[in-house]
């Protein structure tokens, strides 16, 4: 983000109720996203992408016009019990096929753990016959899937829909803690249970169900639709998405897609309002390895501090000086009020929530530690990994530099030399006792920011609102409001490899971020992962509406 588009929130609490900032305040209080790059009132939207003028600028619900007959037929179909049964069976069957991804897997063809992708791909061919008969399928690095649904208008940039079908492993010690077995795909009438039901087989299967339904009704798109499904997103996408993105660049060229939609944040219902939060950027990522080396020896004659003790002190230093986030909003928000002191108070209140605090700033977490080999031998080495998620206004280099500066004085007290990525920071001397090395791993600067004042974001927002208006009676009757606002993703997805393919990259899962039994994000990466069946049906409606709307829009 450039500095012109950002400012630190610093006004008063009453500001959050003003006409200019009421919507921003509601979403901030809901603790669901970072509302930088808010929709300006004077944006000259295309005729089909209208923006409401008052209080909280919002895209109107965007329903297909040219494709209206197709869309209405599908909305009726999706509301039937027969379709629900079909959709549940499709996702349940996909969940029953384990596709676990582990860290440090050898290349495809050298590691047998990749082989479980084969049965899943074979299942897709059987489950979605029209998709496989009508769309061109390119398999990339064996298990990456690129589907191309060619539109007849070659002058229109295609849209790209993404997902991944691999899942995190189920920890053996937690298997008996599941309400239903993790690969059962059990449906209890309300939830579909199992690993991948939420992250991210629901998106992959939801997209394919939507396209299969469109094909069954003879729909032929004007604008091409491309699907890219990775198979190792849970380990960074280095074998899947990296190859898939390269294949897309080779085939279509840079900046060749009008918009890309990948998994991301979803929605949450609070205060009689549905807050839907498509990500317009992702935070950066950095692992900093901290390695201490000191002389060994018998533990019967110990030094004042062993390498493990020193490492513990260094970790305490980091955790006692965690990065301090600030809430960042557009300059326009500052102009809505005059009391900067009270706005700082509002900022402090918002940052008390752990989720909100994590979204707006750089985070750090000491996730791994090891040291020593024997109870009576002084440890010659101690090692830890600090995981950072980097705020969009920061960088990998700035984060590493901060870690180094925090540890310098303590390292000097312990008589340690310091290197950072091989660069000497504090040289060894005659009294140097050991060495401290900081090394970066898996580094990624924050993603480019997608403008939320452009047609692709408005199209997505209008599609989200239209989906809710069709699927929710309380929304249609005006009992519940919908706010769509741009957010920042707290993690990283396969999209890191796709940055050069479009200037409009958006992340959104049409799923409830906190379900009605209190599970955050559908229990992803933990026991009892699940998805509500009504949310899954809404997801299918969302993808269908998005394809129709993109087919009609000027992008």
Query: Which amino acids are annotated as binding site for Zn(2+), given as ranges?
Result: 164, 199, 234, 262, 525
Task: Find tokens 């009892």 and name the residue.
Answer: 528
Does 166 qualify as catalytic in the annotation? yes
Distance of alpha carbon 125 from alpha carbon 504, whole angstroms: 30
- Which position among 200, 212, 233, 279 bears the catalytic label? 233
The sign of the torsion formed by the CA atoms of 508, 367, 235, 519 equals negative
CB neighbourhood size of 515 (10 A): 20
What's the DSSP call for residue 200?
A: T
Distance of alpha carbon 233 from alpha carbon 553, whole angstroms: 31
- Which position among 12, 166, 263, 403 bears the catalytic label? 166
Distance of alpha carbon 30 from alpha carbon 353, whole angstroms: 10
Give residues with Cβ within 8 angstroms of 478, minimum separation 6: none
DSSP 220-271: --SS-EEEEEES-GGGTSTTTHHHHHHHHHHHH-TT--SEEEE----EEEET
From residue 174, give the alpha-carbon distance in Å to each of 64, 169, 196, 368, 527. Answer: 46, 11, 16, 20, 7
End-to-end CA distance of the chain: 23
Alpha helices in 254-338 (DSSP H): 307-320, 331-334
Joined tokens for residue 30: 């809901």
DSSP 506-541: EE---SBSB-TT--BGGGTTSTT-EEEHHHHHHHHH
Joined tokens for residue 511: 């799923």
Rg (CA), the chain: 25
The sign of the torsion formed by the CA atoms of 541, 274, 488, 358 equals negative
Instruction: Produce one character per residue of 361-375: b if its CB has 16 or more CB atoms within 10 Å, e if not.
Output: bbbbebeeeebbeee
Q: For residue 283, what is the enclosing H or E element?
A: none
Q: For residue 370, what is the enclosing H or E element?
A: strand 363-371
Determine how β-strand 273-276 pairs with β-strand 481-484.
parallel
Task: Collapse the DSSP code of 293 into the 3-class scheme (helix H, G, I; strand E, B; otherwise coil) and give the result.
Answer: strand
Phi-psi region of 255 (alpha: psi -120 to 50; beta: other; left: phi over 0): left
Active-site amino acid positions: 166, 233
């Amino acid at each position: 983000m450039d500095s012109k588009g950002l400012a630190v929130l610093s006004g008063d609490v009453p500001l959050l109720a003003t006409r200019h900032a009421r919507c921003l305040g509601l979403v901030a209080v809901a603790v669901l996203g970072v509302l930088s790059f808010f929709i300006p009132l004077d944006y000259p939207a295309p005729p089909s992408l209208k923006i409401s003028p008052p209080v909280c600028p919002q895209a109107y619900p965007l329903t297909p016009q040219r494709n209206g007959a197709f869309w209405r037929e599908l909305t009726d179909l999706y509301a039937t019990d027969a379709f629900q049964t079909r959709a549940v069976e499709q996702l349940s069957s996909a969940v029953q096929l384990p596709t676990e991804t582990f860290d440090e897997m050898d290349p495809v063809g050298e590691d047998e753990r990749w082989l479980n992708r084969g049965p899943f791909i074979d299942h897709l061919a059987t489950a979605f016959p029209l998709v496989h008969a009508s769309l061109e399928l390119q398999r990339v690095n064996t298990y990456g899937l690129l589907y191309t649904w060619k539109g007849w208008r070659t002058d229109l940039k295609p849209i790209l829909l993404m997902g991944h079908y691999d899942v995190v492993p189920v920890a053996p010690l937690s298997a008996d803690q599941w309400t239903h077995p993790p690969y059962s795909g059990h449906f209890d009438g309300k939830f579909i249970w199992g690993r991948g039901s939420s992250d991210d087989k629901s998106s992959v299967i939801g997209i394919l169900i939507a396209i299969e339904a469109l094909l069954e009704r003879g729909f032929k798109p004007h604008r091409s639709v491309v699907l890219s499904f990775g198979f190792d997103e849970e380990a960074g996408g280095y074998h899947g998405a990296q190859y898939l993105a390269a294949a897309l660049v080779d085939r279509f060229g840079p900046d060749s897609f009008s918009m890309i939609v990948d998994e991301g944040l979803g929605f949450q219902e609070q205060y009689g309002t549905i807050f839907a939060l498509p990500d317009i950027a992702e935070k950066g990522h950095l692992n900093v390895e901290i390695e201490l080396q000191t002389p060994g020896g018998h533990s019967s004659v110990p030094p004042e501090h062993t390498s493990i003790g020193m490492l513990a002190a260094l970790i305490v230093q980091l955790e006692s000086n965690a990065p301090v986030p600030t809430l960042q909003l557009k300059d326009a928000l500052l102009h809505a009020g005059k009391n900067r002191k009270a706005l700082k108070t509002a900022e402090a209140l918002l940052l008390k929530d752990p989720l909100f605090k994590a979204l707006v700033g750089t985070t750090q977490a000491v996730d791994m530690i090891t040291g020593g080999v024997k109870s009576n031998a002084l440890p010659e080495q101690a090692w830890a990994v600090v995981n950072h998620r980097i705020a969009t206004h920061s960088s990998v280099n700035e984060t590493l530099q901060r870690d180094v500066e925090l540890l310098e004085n303590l390292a000097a007290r312990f008589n340690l030399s310091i290197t950072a990525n091989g660069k000497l920071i504090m040289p060894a001397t005659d009294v140097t006792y050991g060495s401290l090395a900081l090394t970066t791993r898996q580094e990624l600067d924050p993603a480019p920011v997608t403008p939320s004042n452009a047609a692709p974001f408005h199209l997505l927002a209008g599609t989200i609102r239209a989906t809710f208006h069709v699927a929710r009676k309380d929304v249609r009757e005006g009992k519940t409001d919908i706010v769509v606002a741009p957010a920042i993703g707290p993690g990283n997805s396969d999209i890191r490899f796709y940055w050069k393919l479009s200037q409009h990259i958006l992340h959104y899962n049409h799923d409830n971020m906190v379900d009605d039994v209190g599970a955050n994000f559908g229990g992803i990466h933990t026991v009892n992962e699940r998805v509500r069946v009504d949310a899954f049906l809404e997801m299918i409606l969302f993808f269908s509406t998005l394809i129709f709307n993109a087919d009609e829009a000027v992008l």
